[in-house]
Amino acid sequence: MVIDINLSTLQRLKRPEAPSIPQPSLARLPQYHHYLVDLADKGISRISCSVIGAYLGLIPVQVRKDLQYTGIIGKPKTGYSVAELIQAIETFLGWNNINEAFLVGVGNLGTALLGHERFSKFGLRIVAAFDTDSTKIGQWIHEKAVLPLEQLADLAQRMSIHLGIITCPAEAAQAVADEMVKGGIQAIWNFAPVKLRVPDHIIVHNEDLYSTLASLSWKLARRFRVPVQEKEAV
């Protein structure tokens, strides 16, 4: 077997499109955005990296570097214009253009996402939901129609949907992803705890709540049960 060689090669080849922004910086931008919107609501019009950093627990240099990726220009002594900064982040993230999405699996989590109107402020509009449960099909949940899964690929194609959200049981997730790919969907937001196998050009983001849980669990366990020495003695 040469699995490992293939893999590492593959991973390297996957990287030709330079990220142009580090993933951690990308993840911090929405946090700046939340804070800036708060400031704007309070009528504050200018802000410095130091203050943003103080609020979010980051050092000013890091904030400055992150913001630079959006193309914003600040002025010495006064900092940045709050309005410009919000605009710069939204434009950079593509939040000004709406992404229409399909959601599959109208259970506990799917219903919660369907009902979250705030997503629309961040460029996400879930336009329809899909399920295989005949008792759910035909219902309207949070003003969205629940359709049979079989229609997904066809509708996605005809409506030019680019984003799919998976909130079905883990066992079904791969099959659903396959349908999405068939329908021309480009990006998948996956809440099921499985690794999806999709073509290279498909963007997949896993929202792995169990990873978070693992971190919390480990830290709590460590605090309460292990005073020192975590690994086996040397």
- Work out how close the CB of 7 gets to DNA at its nearest, in angstroms, rounded to a whole number: 9
Shortest CA distance to 142 belongs to which of 112, 120, 169? 112
DSSP bridge pairs for 146: 129
| Helix, strand, coil percent content, the chain, rounded in steps of 5 | 50, 15, 35
- Of the pair 75, 116, the CB lying nearest DNA is at 75
> Using the rule CB under 8 A, is 186 a contact of a copy of itself?
yes
Q: Of the listed pieces 39-47, 149-157, 175-183, 189-197, which binds a copy of itself according to CB under 8 A? A: 189-197
Strands 140-141 and 99-104: unpaired
The Cα 207–Cα 190 span in angstroms is 6
Site string for a copy of itself, 93-132 (x = CB under 8 A): xxx-x-x--------xx-xxx-xx--x--xxx--------
| Of 15, 42, 77, 223, the one binding a copy of itself by CB under 8 A | 223
Q: Of the listed pieces 16-24, 101-109, 127-135, 183-191, which binds DNA according to CB under 7 A? A: 16-24
Q: Is 186 exposed, middle or buried (0-12, 13-18, 19+ CB in 10 A)?
A: middle
Interface residues with DNA (CB under 7 A) are 1, 4, 8, 11-12, 15, 19, 22-25, 48-51, 58-62, 64-65, 67-68, 72-80
